Chains A and B, each alone.
Chain A
């Protein structure tokens, strides 16, 4: 049985039909990618899983259980989200310690001290960063804090919304390596949303390509690497991500 099972999901925001019938199934321990351009509804699918976007029709099941709205606290101990922009997703007047302690307080953990220390070590930041404010950190360090915040409740599922697209290339490599290592150490399940095919190909075993709120096609990593795309849209994306090509004169 798949861990995350989405069938025929529709999301509407007033007159806008952002997601039109997306189905996907993610097994435990798998990394699943969603690729698309802006406005394709890829982030909305992720936000719908998390309960941040309304489900208009269809169902989302985790471990066979249909999710209810609002999500129960137990859901957030199983699934957490990392957002795109670490400059916007951390509270500017909360220290790293406060950011990391808050989920623990909400969920009634008592060993907060030890967990905060461990979370910082896990993401490679060390204790020196514990009482800093976000503005005292670089972009890559902030995204590490965001990952630590998501992992502090020890969830099994991590929803990653463009986790590296606000970062420089060299920092992106570090964050991707961190995510890769954490997944293999803890057997996490990832759903990764990105506009960058190369990032998804690096991180995910399977992926779907979305356009206008619908699934264009589903591919495995091997198919993507071999450029075996059935749909024209995916082929265009693949060609565009190779860089600029001058038409033969």
Chain B
């Protein structure tokens, strides 16, 4: 569950990135967060992942009150989140299997648990036949699937996707979005940050639009008119 109540964020240089955002995403929901460049989307993502903290207001992520969270609890929060980036952020020297297994290893999973779970998620994203390939041997869409598998492998409560289709062609973009929809149907909350109008309009999902650090609309359907 992601809950933001009257949230403000100002940076040290005086930039007011977020101005009074109220947003609530329940467990199991699928939502798009849309807005032009500089609207505050990245700031919202950083507030969710605990990279930065709000100047005012309340941010609660999967039960963690971000105003009161201790630094030692940040890893616990992040284990409830799976983050997907536009540039995939895969480790080039590791193959597909190792990239996904790595996310489990760093949270202390045993080899037996890793083998079982990694095989499952790679099958889920359709990469079970390419486990030994290195990232540079895969297409953009496939690399993003690896990133999705890595985000999913620790069974997070919520997937946060930051422009997940920004580096791939439209056909593969639709596949990725369909995959995220399938993951959502399995019970995981999904929040997709994007500015791809056509893609958003192909899904009848909740769309939260922000502009200039303010929430300008929040509704369900192919709704996309922040311009």
Bound pair (A, B): no
